[in-house]
Structure 1
Amino acid sequence: MRRLTVLGTCGAWPEAGRAASGFLLEYDGFRVVLDLGYATLPRLLEHCPGGRVDAVVITHEHPDHCADLSALCRVRYFAPERGARVPLYCPPGVLGRVQAMEPTEDLRDVFDVHPLHPLPAAHPVGPLRLDALALPHHVPHAGVRLSAPGLVLAYSGDAGPDPALAELAADADLFIAGATLQGTGAGDGCGSGSGSGSGSGDHQLMSAAEAGAWAARAGARHLLLTHFWPGDDRTRSVAEARGAFPGGVSAAEEGMVLDLTAR
């Protein structure tokens, strides 16, 4: 089984009934979590009882991407059988930010921590190869590329537009891209839009149009938009991305499952 399950799609905070950033990738029985923002853990537990995952990757320390790492730690920490430590890949700052939420339970008792930014070289994560590239944001941030026979998945996290996105998502079967901003703005993908919540000229975030432009430049096959500003019209984001990208474009939705075997 090769599939991606969407755990959460909101940036900043989750709308009612939704969650912040989070995804579960399953590749032939190996389960990798990509980000664990607010309210993602209950959704993860529906698919992985007891928090039984094989690896966790966190793109950066903002709580809409890492807050529920604390909750996953507690699930595993207090389990009747804790089991082996889970590999955790994250940039500097994540561990301190999450540990401060509950200082008495050491994250390193549950997680085997590896630096993600900078990642010195491609790293094997079970059957997958993990590559990470530094991308612009308000704090140290890593874009993630996971590859294996028959699959290339790229995830921009919450990053702003940057030439490294073309390398990150090169020929990807699925490019998961933040689309926080709306408004075509710099439709060539080299600037930023003027969307809700963040104002214009913010090169630490990406617009839907920019996500489409970078997906096109990278030669990605399908673009999955995520990290929507709460309350924004997602159909508008999809339309703006389609204006720059000729491939398939979807808006991520909580509970969405994408079959990756046919891609």
Structure 2
Amino acid sequence: MRLTVLGGDGGWPRAGSACSGYLVQREGYVLLVDPGYATAPLLFSVVPPWEIDAVLVTHGHPDHCADLSPLLRARIFDDHPAPALPVHAPAGALDAVLALDRPQLLHGAVTVSHLEDGARLQLGPFEIEATALPHTWPNLGYRISTDGPSLAYTGDSGPSDRRVDLARDVTVLLAEASYAARVPDDVVG
């Protein structure tokens, strides 16, 4: 399993940087996790848009999903348009970003699957397990496993025993944090 960090900035990207965005690759399969603000240009410098096999989104805040729009546009407007991109996210998480384009443009470009707490799916060589984690917006953490290495990714979330369970015995824990001093009560689970 190969992990490439495209960005990890908080609520907005700093100059020359990007918000949350991670590529997970194995056996030629390319999984994009959280295409946040400014990740598309960095993504395209690593892998062409038509080589993305699937996308996972933790939640609907734009610093975790806004660059799904330029990714889809790059796939649509290429000389050889790519097949529909499978995108998996909590229900409603992608409504705003998908509304940036007219539905006719996106027809055939994307298939959206809504995930809930406890959902499991197979994406290429990856077994995905979704876990609801506390945040101000419905948020799923993901455990991404193979027959070897494994990765747990929290997205934005507050302290929770569920984070501990998600990360138990993984090879790599990718945990985001927003509050250094005090965590607001509405993001503690």
- Both proteins in one fold, TM over 0.5: yes
State the partner residue of 1:173: 171
Aligned counterparts of 2:18 and 2:174: Cα–Cα separation in 1: 16
2:95 is paired with a residue whose SS is helix
State the partner residue of 1:260: none
State the partner residue of 2:111: 112
Matched, 1:156 2:138: no
Aligned counterparts of 2:151 and 2:163: Cα–Cα separation in 1: 13
Aligned counterparts of 1:166 and 1:132: Cα–Cα separation in 2: 14
8 Å CA contact 1:154, 1:176 repeated in 2? yes
Question: After superposition, where does 1:65-84 map in structure 2 within 5 Å?
Answer: 65-84=64-83
Q: 1:205: Cα distance to partner?
A: 5.5
Aligned counterparts of 2:52 and 2:128: Cα–Cα separation in 1: 16
State the partner residue of 1:21: 20
1:137 counterpart (116, 135, 138): 135
Give the letter aligned to residue 115 of structure 1: H
Matched, 1:125 2:107: no
Q: 1:112: Cα distance to partner?
A: 1.9
When normalised by structure 1's length, the TM-score is: 0.67
Give the letter aligned to residue 169 of structure 1: A
1:37 is paired with a residue whose SS is coil
Q: Which structure has the larger Rg over C-alpha atoms?
A: 1
* Seq. identity, %: 40
When normalised by structure 2's length, the TM-score is: 0.92
Give the letter aligned to residue 175 of structure 2: A
Segments of structure 2 that go 5 or more residues without pairing to the other structure are: none
Aligned residues: 188
2:91 is paired with a residue whose SS is coil
Tell me: CA distance 1:179–1:95, structure 2 relative to 1, closer, same or farther (3 Å).
Answer: closer
Segments of structure 1 that go 5 or more residues without pairing to the other structure are: 183-193, 195-199, 207-263
Higher relative contact order (CA 8 A, sep 6+): 1
